[in-house]
Amino acid sequence: MSDNQNLLARKSAATPRGVGVMAPFFVARASNAELWDVEGRRFIDFAGGIAVLNTGHCHPKVCAAVRAQLDAFTHSCYQVVPYESYIALAERLNALTPGSHAKKTAFFSTGAEAVENAVKIARAATGRSAVIAFSGGFHGRTMMGMALTGKVAPYKTGFGPFPAEVYHAPFPNALHGVGVEPALKALHELFKADVDPQRVAAIIVEPVQGEGGFYVAPPEFMRALRGLCDEHGIVLIADEIQTGFARTGRWFAMDHYDVLPDLMTLAKSLAGGYPLSAVTGRAELMDAPNPGGLGGTYAGNPLAIAAAHAVLDVIAEEGLNARANALGERLKARLHELETTIPQMADIRGPGAMVAVEFIDPASGRPDADFAKAVQARALARGLILLSCGTYGNVLRFLFPLTIGDETFAEGLAILESALRG
C-alpha cells in the first residue's frame, strides 16, 4: 500500500499545482463523518466534501440505490434515450422547492454547469444579456462562473478576459461596514451609471454566501431584490448550491424568506457525492430555450439520479432539517462559550448547521487570516478536517454531515476547542 509521502511525490509529478489540495494525506475509506487515510489514521470530517455530504460518507441507503441502478444501466444519455427516474426526481424537486407555482427542472453535472444554464435560461426568457452578481459571491470556475464570482484570488487570477455584460454590486455585510441601504443604493447607482435595468436578464444571489464567508442575506435585502426584479422584469436566481438540502435547517435557504426566486441552482448535497446539479424554476421560464438548448452528455446521469432519490428519502426519514438546527445550536453555543477568552473571534453566524466563525485581529481590527489558518492546521494535526472561506480568508466554516453521531460530534468540538486555544 502507498504511504502519504510517496503519494505526495507522485501527485506533484503527475498533477498541476493549479489544483490546490489542502490535506497532506490521502483518503482510503470513509463512513458517515469519519475517514481514514492510507496509513490508517482516522479523521473527523467537518468539511463534508465542501457541503456535498449532508447525508454523510457512504450512507447505506444511497449506496444501495446506486448499486441497484448499476445493475440496470449506467448511461444512455437522457437526451438520446430517457428514463423515468429523471422525470421522477424533477417532480420531487418541483414540489420541494419554495412556492406553489408551476415549475420544471433540468439536470446537469456540476454546480457551475447549473449556474451557466440558469443564465442561459434567463437570457432566453427575457431577450436580455446583462447579469448582476455580488461581491464575495462564488458561482463556479467556468468562464461565466468566474465572471459572476466576486473574488479575484485564487479563482480569477490569470484567467481573463471574462464574458461581458456581468456587473457586481456590494453584498450586505454589517461586520465589514456594508449595510442593506448602502448595498441597495449601489444597485440603483449601477442602474444609473453602468447598465440599463431593461438590459438586465438576471440577478444571481446566494441566500447565504458560501466561499464568500457564510454571510446571510438580510430578509429586507432579499425583499428589495424581489421588488427590483418585479419592477424591471428581471429574473431572480437563487444560488442554493451550497445552502440546499437541509444545511440551513430547512430544505433550502430560500425557505427562510418570504419572497420567492424565479430560478434556483442546486448541486453539492443533492446526490450525496455523485455528480449531479439542477436548475429548478418557473415553468414558463424553463421552457424558454429551444429543444436542444439545454442538456449535456452526462447531464442527469442515472447513477447520480438514483443517489439523489435516496438522499431526499434520507433527509425526510432521518429528520435532517431538525438535526441541522440542533447541531448548529450546539456548535454555536460552544463557540460563544469560547469567544470571551479568544479575542480574535469577532463573529459567529449562520442558520441551521451552516455555521461560521470569523477572526479579526483585536489590535488592528483587520481580518486575521493567519489565525484562521493556524486553527485549521492545528485541528488537522489533531484529527479534525476544517475549511476556511471568506474574501479575506479569515473565516472557518463548518460543513459536517448532518448524520454525524453525537459522540463523534462531541469529539470534533473538543478538538476544535483545543485548536482555537492553541
What's the length of the chain? 422
Distance CA 403, CA 54 (A): 7
Question: Using alpha carbons only, how large is the chain's radius of gyration in Å?
Answer: 21
Are the C-beta atoms of residues 315 and 321 closer than 8 Å to each other?
yes
401 by DSSP, 3-state: which?
coil
Number of C-beta neighbours around residue 396 at 10 A: 27
Phi, psi of 278 (to 5 degrees): -155, 155
Distance CA 312, CA 92 (A): 9
Strands 103-108, 277-282: parallel, antiparallel or unpaired by DSSP? antiparallel
Number of C-beta neighbours around residue 263 at 10 A: 26
Cell of 227: 421588488
Distance CA 60, CA 156 (A): 39
Return the exposure string of 210-224: e unless at least 16 CB atoms fall within 10 Å of the residue's CB, then b: bbbbbbbbeeebbeb
Identity of residue 52: V
Enzyme catalytic residues: 138, 239, 268
Interacting residues of 219 by C-beta distance below 8 A, sequence separation 6+: 256, 257, 258
